[in-house]
């Protein structure tokens, strides 16, 4: 039997599954089903990327061992795919002992062939986060905690990536479809042409990882470990090389450069094809954890089911390009194409067959015109699916459905039934047969995209064999048997009322976010409020360093004559003499309420005059638009003059 092996990336366990992961995984599973329909014995793998310092730390934050933590999140992924009816054949985790064994084998093969050496690695390291900051220069701050990084040198194992420049370029040349789409291929080629530097593949600063054989001070670092799951997932099954790695565009370099280089170094076969798709945006905005606008799949599943989502992702997004996601758009697509389109055609056709032909598909060859269009649609659908242009494939099929719709109106079966003439009855047979046959063909072709709903339609058509047993090559016009009794059934795609469904999805999404945040030990964020001022422009640590904030003690406080807003304060900052500060806090604080308080003062602000009084600094207070200021203070005692940074 022909075999086909395809993969999704293995997902990091620092977040539970969101719509981006779901996208790749749903697409991959559609391809797996499509290949099965062509008679292939298919294996689809996914999994989780579980090593590294960040995971170790995340586990600690929720009082779990790294293994307990990764078990929990890997479980979230496996459960999500299961609930979304995504059939995964092998789920590989980087903490699996079979994987560990494979990574070590890859390393040893690379070492034996002279492509690994020990060298010293110098990078910017954040002592507080215990992490290297990639691409940082000496003195740069840590992006996580903002503290300055330190230049640290450690001994590492290096992979001789630089030795593969020519071989990689030859690979892209000889196998033009190795990296797709074309835009990504070009990006990869120009990257390789610009020169490759050797790659550090181990760390001594990390504990949570796969130890390097015979040198377990070191653990393997990220990609050497992660990419090897593609092999360990099918170890002992004689499945390697993979036919297709489906990935997002942000990890194309690792897949198209590092991975083939590692394999060439080991002398192992290369995967056949890498396809990098685009990113999903939410309401046209980049999704990210920090923005808090990640969309999770389970709320969508609960409100409208997994198939409307899957259909949307395949139909609406041009595979390879970025695409937008919004709850409204998913429902709009569903109502237009599935409820009003396919679903309505099925319901009308079956009801006419029941009413006019006693529930039996009439005997007829069907309309030659519709048959011709159906043949073209099969071919176009096939071509589209083969090159992973799902939206094109689906479009071709929906053109056939609208042709059928128009033909039904032209034939007007409701008139023909009233005409006893044999030609009229023959015409009625022709259109009813054609309609049922188009539905059968469309249903069979859509099996990989809408597995559950097509199975229902299949049963309603009264098809004797199982839908999965239909192979693509055997699908031809005219196979529907005249005389076949159609089954019963309710609408397969009931209309969804957008307003309440969208509202419900937002509500469940907020709950799901809170649940997932709790899993990874994050306190729920306060709900965004409209009266909170938008975030100011990003500044560097140096910009911040220019602001000198000091702890001050309020020695005296008086109302400013003629103003009900201002207090005149004398504040001790530990300098020779107290500062004179005019503060707009009189509406919120009486003079005696601030007397003797420790406050925060912007101490290097240019002095200015207010109501004839010099103000030599500004007092720091929290305030909402239109609300009263609340002075910043300290829970513990602090010395006067201490700087805040
Ligand atoms: N662990 C690495 C991959 C190792 S593969 C050997 C990783 N993990 S990840 O959790 O960040 O997942 C990245 C993948 O998730 C992307 O390549 C893509 O498949 C999918 N997506 C994540 N966010 C996405 C969008 N917003 N849109 C579409 N897919 C995205 O990188």
- Evaluate whether 492 touches 456 at the Cβ level (below 8 Å): yes
Q: Which of 582, 580, 584, 562 is nearest to 572 (CA)?
A: 580
12 lines ligand 1 (CB under 6 A): yes
From the CA of 9, how far away is ligand 1's center (Å)? 6
> Strand order in 41-49's β-sheet?
90-93, 41-49, 3-12, 244-248, 274-277, 179-180
From the CA of 8, how far away is ligand 1's center (Å)? 9
Task: Give the number of C-alpha atoms closer than 13 A to the C-alpha of residue 123, restricted to the C-beta side.
Answer: 21
From the CA of 22, how far away is ligand 1's center (Å)? 10
287 lines ligand 1 (CB under 6 A): yes
Four-residue CA torsion sign, 94, 95, 97, 100: positive
Count of C-beta atoms within a 10 Å radius of residue 307 = 22
SS3 (DSSP) at 3: strand
DSSP 332-370: HHIIIIIIIIIIHHHHHHHHHHHHHHTTBPPP----HHH
244 lines ligand 1 (CB under 6 A): no
Measured between its terminal Cα atoms, the distance across the chain in Å is 67
SS3 (DSSP) at 491: coil
Fold of 324-474: Isoleucyl-tRNA Synthetase; Domain 1 (1.10.730)
264-295 tens-digit pLDDT: 999 999 999 999 999 999 988 898 877 788 89
Fold of 3-277: Rossmann fold (3.40.50)
Task: Output phi, psi for 189, to 5 deg.
Answer: -60, -45
The span from the CA of 302 to the CA of 512, in Å, is 11
281 lines ligand 1 (CB under 6 A): no
Four-residue CA torsion sign, 53, 58, 63, 65: negative
* Residue closest by Cα to atom 15 of ligand 1: 21
pLDDT at residue 417 in the model: 97
pLDDT at residue 101 in the model: 98
Burial class (CB in 10 A: 0-12, 13-18, 19+), 424: middle
DSSP 62-130: TT--HHHHHHHHHHHHHHHHHHTT---SEEEETTSHHHHHHHHHHHHHHHHTT-EEEEEEEEEEETTTT
Mean pLDDT of 488-499: 93
Q: What is the DSSP letter of 164?
A: G
From the CA of 87, how far away is ligand 1's center (Å)? 19
The span from the CA of 333 to the CA of 499, in Å, is 14
> Cα 330 to chain center, whole Å?
16
329 lines ligand 1 (CB under 6 A): no
- Evaluate whether 31 touches 113 at the Cβ level (below 8 Å): no
From the CA of 278, how far away is ligand 1's center (Å)? 10
Mean pLDDT of the chain: 93
Domains of the chain by residue range: 3-277, 324-474, 533-644
From the CA of 11, how far away is ligand 1's center (Å)? 6
From the CA of 10, how far away is ligand 1's center (Å)? 8
CATH code: domain 533-644 is 2.40.50.140
Does the pLDDT of residue 107 top 60, yes or no? yes
- Evaluate whether 316 touches 391 at the Cβ level (below 8 Å): yes
| Nearest ligand 1 atom to alpha carbon 11 | 10
27-74 tens-digit pLDDT: 999 999 999 999 999 999 999 999 998 898 889 888 999 999 999 999
In terms of phi and psi (left: phi > 0; alpha: psi -120 to 50; beta: otherwise), the region of 334 is: alpha
* Residue closest by Cα to atom 2 of ligand 1: 11
The span from the CA of 471 to the CA of 480, in Å, is 15
Count of C-beta atoms within a 10 Å radius of residue 155 = 13
The residue whose CB lies within 8 Å of the most ligand 1 atoms, and thus the one to mutate among 21, 224, 285, is 21
11 lines ligand 1 (CB under 6 A): yes
> Cα 286 to chain center, whole Å?
11
pLDDT at residue 525 in the model: 47
148 lines ligand 1 (CB under 6 A): no
Residues in Cβ contact with 593 at an 8 Å cutoff, skipping those fewer than 6 apart: none
Output the pTM of the full model. 0.81
| Nearest ligand 1 atom to alpha carbon 248 | 17
Q: Which of 194, 296, 340, 365 is nearest to 510 (CA)?
A: 296
| Nearest ligand 1 atom to alpha carbon 279 | 27
* Residue closest by Cα to atom 12 of ligand 1: 11
226 lines ligand 1 (CB under 6 A): yes
pLDDT at residue 148 in the model: 86
Least confident piece of the model among 1-15, 129-143, 173-187: 129-143
H or E element at residue 46:
strand 41-49
574-584 tens-digit pLDDT: 999 999 999 99
pLDDT at residue 134 in the model: 82
pLDDT at residue 640 in the model: 93
| Nearest ligand 1 atom to alpha carbon 280 | 27
DSSP 525-588: PPPP-TTSPPPPPP--HHHHHT--EEEEEEEEEEEPTT-SS-EEEEEE-SSSSPEEEEES-TTT
From the CA of 208, how far away is ligand 1's center (Å)? 21
317 lines ligand 1 (CB under 6 A): no
Whose tokens are 């090593």? That residue is 51
* Residue closest by Cα to atom 21 of ligand 1: 20
| Nearest ligand 1 atom to alpha carbon 227 | 6
Q: Which of 81, 83, 97, 93 is nearest to 28 (CA)?
A: 81
Does the pLDDT of residue 532 top 70, yes or no? no
């Amino acid at each position: 039997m022909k075999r086909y092996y395809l993969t999704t990336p293995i997902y990091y366990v620092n977040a539970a599954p969101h719509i981006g992961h779901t996208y790749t995984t749903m697409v991959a599973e559609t391809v797996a089903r499509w290949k099965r329909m062509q008679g292939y014995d298919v294996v689809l793998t996914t999994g989780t990327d579980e090593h590294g310092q960040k995971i170790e730390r995340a586990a600690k934050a929720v009082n779990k061992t790294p293994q307990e933590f990764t078990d929990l999140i890997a479980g979230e992924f496996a459960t999500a795919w299961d609930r979304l009816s995504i059939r995964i054949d092998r789920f590989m985790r980087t903490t699996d002992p079979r994987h560990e064994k494979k990574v070590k084998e890859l390393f040893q093969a690379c070492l034996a062939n002279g492509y690994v050496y020990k060298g010293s690695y110098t990078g910017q390291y954040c002592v507080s986060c215990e992490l290297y900051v990639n691409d940082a220069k000496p003195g740069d701050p840590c992006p996580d905690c903002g503290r300055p990084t330190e230049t640290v040198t450690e001994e590492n194992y290096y992979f001789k990536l630089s030795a593969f420049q020519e071989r990689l370029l030859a690979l892209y040349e000889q196998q033009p479809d190795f990296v797709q789409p074309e835009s990504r291929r070009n990006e990869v080629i120009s990257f390789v042409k610009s020169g490759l530097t050797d790659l550090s593949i181990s760390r001594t600063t990390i504990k949570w990882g796969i130890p390097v054989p015979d040198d377990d001070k070191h653990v393997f670092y990220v990609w050497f470990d992660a990419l090897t799951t593609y092999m360990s997932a099918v170890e002992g099954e004689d499945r390697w090389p993979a036919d297709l790695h489906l990935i997002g565009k942000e990890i194309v370099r690792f897949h198209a450069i590092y991975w083939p280089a590692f394999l060439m170094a080991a002398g192992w076969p290369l995967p056949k094809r890498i396809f990098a798709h685009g990113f999903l945006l939410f309401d046209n905005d980049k999704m990210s954890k920090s923005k808090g606008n990640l969309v999770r799949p389970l709320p969508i599943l609960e409100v409208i089911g997994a198939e409307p989502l899957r259909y949307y992702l395949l139909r609406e997004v041009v595979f390879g390009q970025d695409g937008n996601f919004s709850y409204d758009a998913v429902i709009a697509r569903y109502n237009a194409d599935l409820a009003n389109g396919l679903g309505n055609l099925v319901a009308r056709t079956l009801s006419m067959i029941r009413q006019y032909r006693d529930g039996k598909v009439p005997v007829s060859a069907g309309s030659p015109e519709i048959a011709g269009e159906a043949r073209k649609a099969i071919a176009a659908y096939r071509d589209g699916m083969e090159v992973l242009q799902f939206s094109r494939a689906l479009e071709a099929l929906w053109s056939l459905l609208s042709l059928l719709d128009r033909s039904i109106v032209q034939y007007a079966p409701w008139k023909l039934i009233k005409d006893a003439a044999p030609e009229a009855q023959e015409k009625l047979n022709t259109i009813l047969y054609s309609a049922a046959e188009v539905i059968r063909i469309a249903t069979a072709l859509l099996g990989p995209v809408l597995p559950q709903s097509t199975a229902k339609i299949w049963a309603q058509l009264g098809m004797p064999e199982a839908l999965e047993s239909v192979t693509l090559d055997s699908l031809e016009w005219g196979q529907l048997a005249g005389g076949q009794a159609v089954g019963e059934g309710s609408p397969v795609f009931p209309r969804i009322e957008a307003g309440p469904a969208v509202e419900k999805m937002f509500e469940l999404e907020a709950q799901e976010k809170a649940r997932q945040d709790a899993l990874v030990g994050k306190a729920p964020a306060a709900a965004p409020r409209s009266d909170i001022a938008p975030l100011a422009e990003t500044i560097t640590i140096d910009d911040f360093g220019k602001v000198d904030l000091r702890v001050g003690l309020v020695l005296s406080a008086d109302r400013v004559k003629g103003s009900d807003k201002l207090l005149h304060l004398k504040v001790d900052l530990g300098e020779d003499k107290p500062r004179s500060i005019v503060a707009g806090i009189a509406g919120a604080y009486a003079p005696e309420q601030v007397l003797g308080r420790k406050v925060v003062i912007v101490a290097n602000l240019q002095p200015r005059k207010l109501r004839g009084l010099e103000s030599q600094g500004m007092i720091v207070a929290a305030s909402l638009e239109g609300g009263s200021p609340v002075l910043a203070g300290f829970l513990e005692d602090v010395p006067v003059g201490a700087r805040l940074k």
